[in-house]
Structure 1
């Protein structure tokens, strides 16, 4: 009769674990060969039925080698940076998924799942997030310049410097200041340095989402007046909210209808807000994803029409 295997309890080992951690928990090498355990990457394992998250693999890799940190696209995803339009969610089972890592001293060979870069990092370039070690937010932004466009970098820059809404996000300070980004770009001489400098010229405090950033850039490049960004507006003492973009001089504002506007409660609030603004003589342009295509051509034309209706001479 075959010997029964002792199940690996959820609290026995982390989601992704090394052979050393397994041995410390009393799990033998023979037990790791059982069908209910799978090899993740060389030297790392997980329960066969467990969902493997990128953060779990990074935590295991960086915990076992203090010289290793996640970088590039991996650090970008783990920091929650805006991802380029069309980017797929990371899944370990996807053959195209890669974890991007840097090692400060030893040159490593790439594998199907691991991509290694040699980066010269300072202590401030690295951050501990939970059990994982990553390049810092600002350093990650710099490194992404090797592959991202100027506008992609601007979206991330806007994300880093935006003032958070403390009651929803649990923080009151931005991830970085404009001055920190300027200093970082000033001392960066790697690939994409020119794109970073151009991006820095376009980064502004006030855009709350990548869509708002793209719309703002489209507005400026089409020759429309510079808008206020998420700025509170009052008309005759009446509170009219904080539209994504606004031109109080012409009583025109823009709200972008993203995924957070799809709930019944939010839609009811949006309708009430629109009616209030209309009653005070404002035009509210509500944009959707289609308005952002082709450099926001449709969106900027709709905004221009509204501005001209209220006296803009452009």
Structure 2
């Protein structure tokens, strides 16, 4: 017997069993193999491959006093987590301490919502970005926290939201508060990408002076020439992270080449290109720091390499 067609709205989105259109279907049809069951009382005829999609599906059955938190909140806020999204990652949800944790397959329940801010993101209740950063201190290392902190601070144009969230949070798992405090010392406003943050951590972690972030460079007439990722203005050195997307294609490469020619040949700046392997490969990281140090007039032997 051919399978009964779903009503048109149910073919394009997850739906709760209480949806008026779903109530027209038999129990057997709702148990059909073509319908995924992301959580109890929810079905979906479309694949749910991302955290955002699965959160939308789970929200159909989520109590009103619950919000998404931790890694799930970070993905909803599009924060730069160190690992890629995957369909088998659990969803994290939180409610206040007056209620029991949510217990469902594929979900990690937390408590303590009353100590966190809540906002709407992608139409869903989500723990605020600064409080999410603090929650991530439970599971991420210091560099990853700095990268995410840079992103949040740059969006807000201030580190104050992170500072205030840390001040409000009275209870944190052992070690996570210290990790957050240490990381906060290195969070800066101005980073345009996660890799720019990581490149900055490489050079300042070795003991080089802090650069300006995404700072403008002008010619003698005050005309804009470039915006440098990492700028040491006094020494006229600029570090440029060469991402795979931002500088892809012949036009982008030509613009980069023209800009570099003006900086180096006309204005006397030194441009240091930084690539992904310069950040993650120990040998190349050592050579990058040494190269930048020499351009800054610093003896590499004085650094932490």
**TM bucket normalised to smaller:** 0.7 to 0.9
User: Which stretch shows the higher mean deviation, 20-29 or 235-244?
Assistant: 20-29
For residues 119-268 of structure 1, the aligned pairs below 5 Å read 119-121=112-114, 125-162=117-154, 174-175=155-156, 177-188=158-169, 189-191=171-173, 192-237=176-221, 238-259=223-244, 260-268=246-254
Instruction: Report the secondary structure of 2:181's partner residue.
Output: helix
CA-CA distance at 1:274 after TM superposition: 0.8
* Partner residue, 2:53: 56
Instruction: Report the secondary structure of 2:56's partner residue.
Output: helix
Q: Which runs of 5+ in 2 are unaligned?
A: none
Q: Distance in 1 between the 2:295 and 2:190 partners?
A: 22
Runs of 4+ in structure 1 deviating by more than 4 angstroms, as ranges, are 22-25
**What is the TM-score normalised by the length of structure 2?**
0.85
Alpha carbon RMSD of aligned pairs, Å? 2.5
Q: Check conservation: 2:49, 2:86, Cα contact below 8 A.
A: no
1:201-226 Cα shifts (integer Å, max 9, x gaps): 11111111111112222222222222
Instruction: Report the secondary structure of 1:276's partner residue.
Output: helix
Instruction: Report the secondary structure of 1:240's partner residue.
Output: strand
* Partner residue, 1:44: 42
Describe the shift of the 1:29–1:53 C-alpha distance in structure 2 as closer, same or farther (beyond 3 A). Answer: farther
Describe the shift of the 1:99–1:10 C-alpha distance in structure 2 as closer, same or farther (beyond 3 A). Answer: farther
* Partner residue, 1:68: 66
Q: Check conservation: 1:15, 1:50, Cα contact below 8 A.
A: no
CA-CA distance at 1:24 after TM superposition: 5.4
Count, aligned residues? 289
Describe the shift of the 1:208–1:285 C-alpha distance in structure 2 as closer, same or farther (beyond 3 A). Answer: same
User: Which stretch shows the higher mean deviation, 143-152 or 30-39?
Assistant: 30-39
Q: Check conservation: 2:153, 2:161, Cα contact below 8 A.
A: no
* Partner residue, 1:118: 111
Q: Which runs of 5+ in 1 are unaligned?
A: 163-173
Q: Distance in 2 between the 1:25 and 1:278 partners?
A: 69
